[in-house]
Structure 1
C-alpha cells in the first residue's frame, strides 16, 4: 500500500481539481516530506502513474500547467487505500497518518468499524509480543551477542500498547460525535 498514492488521491479528491505544485505545497505544510518521505519527484511520478491507470484525468491549460481530477476508478482506489490505512494494525505510522488526514471522508460508523479492526490487530500484536517479552532471560537466544534482542520485542510491545490506547480513544471520540464525518450534515 502506498502512502504517496493515498496522499495524492486524497488531495485531488479534496480539491476537486488541482495541480502538482498545489499538492506538493500542501504536503510540505503537513511535513509529509519528513513523516512519509514524500518528495517532489514521487508526487509527479504518482500523478503520472495514476493518470496512466485511469484513476486521475488530466487537462493541460493554455499556460502548460496540468490539472488533475479524480475519476470514478480513482475514487474507488482512494477509498480502498483509506480503509486499509485506518484498519491496519501494523507499525506503519506514515500510512496511518495519511489515513487520518482523510478520516472525515468516511461515514462515522465505517470509520469506527475500521478503527475497531485496527484495535483488534493491535491487541493480537500486543499479546504476541507479551509472550516473548514475558519469557525473560529463560528464552533461548542461541546466537552469541544477541541477548539484547528481547529489547526489540519490548519496543514492539510498548508501541502496540500505546497505539491500542490511542486507537481506543479515537474510537470513543468518534462515538461521542467528534469531527464532521462524510455522513454528517455539514453547515
Structure 2
C-alpha cells in the first residue's frame, strides 16, 4: 500500500481540484516526510501515475500549472486505500499514518467498523506471538522476537481501543457531519494561490 498514493488522492479529493505545489506544500507542512516517507518527487510521480491509471484527470491552467481532479475511479481507489490502511495492521506505520490523516473522509460508523477489524487482527497477532513464545525451544533467545511482536501488538490494541472510545464519544467531525473536512471539495485553499 502506498501512503503517498493515498495522501495525494485524499488531498485532491479534499480540495476538489489541486496542483502539485499545493499538495506538496500541505503534506510537507503536516510533516508527512517523516511519518509517511513522502518526498516532493514521489508526489509528482504519484500525480502522473494516478492520471495514467485514470484516478485523476489533469488540466493545464495558464500560464504553466497543472490542476488535478478526482475521477469516479479515483474515489473508489481512495476509499479502498483508506479502508485498508485503517483495517489492516501493517509492519510499516506509514499506511496507518496516511489513513489517520484522511480519517474524517469516512462516516463515523464506517471508521469504527474498520478500526474494530484492526483491533481483532491485533488481538490475534498478540495471541499468536504469545503462543509462539511459549512453544519456542531452541535457540532460546529467539523468544525475544516473539516477545517484541506481542508487546507491539499489545500497544496497538491499547491505542486502537482508545481511538475507538474517542470516536464513539463523538470526537472529530467525520464525513457527513457538520464541520467535517472529510467531504469532497470541502477544503479551503489558504494563501497558496
Compute the TM-score of the two structures, normalised by the length of structure 2. Answer: 0.88
* Aligned residue-pair number: 180
Spell out, residue by residue over 1:133-176, the C-alpha distance to the aligned partner (whole angstroms, 9 max, x if none).
334xx6122xxxxx433222211111110110110111111111
Partner of 2:20: 20
- Corresponding position of 2:96: 96
User: Of residues 117, 131, 148 in structure 2, which corresponds to 1:155?
Assistant: 148
Runs (4+) of structure 1 exceeding 3 A deviation are: none
- Which residue is equivalent to 2:184? none
Post-superposition CA distance 1:52-84 (Å, at most 9, x none): 111001111111111111111101110110000
Contact 1:115–1:167 (Cα < 8 Å) also in 2: yes
Structure 1: stretches of 5+ with no match in the other structure: 142-146
> Shift of residue 21 of structure 1?
1.1
Structure 2 distance, partners of 1:164, 1:45, is 35
Is structure 2 residue 31 aligned with structure 1 residue 31? yes
State the Cα deviation string for residues 88-107 of structure 1 (Å, max 9, x = none): 02223110010001111111
| Equivalent position SS for 1:182 | coil
Cα distance between partner residues in 2 of 1:171 and 1:181 = 13
Query: Which residue is 2:126 aligned to?
Result: 126
Q: Does 1:67 align with 2:67?
A: yes
Q: Which among 166, 179, 191 is matched to residue 186 of structure 1?
A: 179
Q: Which has the larger radius of gyration?
A: 1
RMSD: 1.4
Which residue of 138, 141, 155 maps to 1:140? 138
Write the distance in 2 (CA, Å) between the matches of 1:163 and 1:31: 22
CA contact (8 A) 1:126 1:157 kept: yes
Q: Distance in 2 between matches of 1:24 and 1:17?
A: 14
CA distance in 2: counterparts of 1:186 and 1:40, whole angstroms:
30
Deviation of 1:112 after TM superposition, in Å, equals 0.2
Q: Which residue of 1 aligns with 2:191?
A: none
Q: 1: CA distance between counterparts of 2:26 and 2:45?
A: 17
Q: Answer yes or no: is the 8 Å Cα contact 1:90–1:122 preserved in 2.
A: no
Q: CA–CA distance in 2 between the matches of 1:116 and 1:66?
A: 40
Gaps of 5+ in 2: 181-193
Partner residue in 2 for 1:108? 108
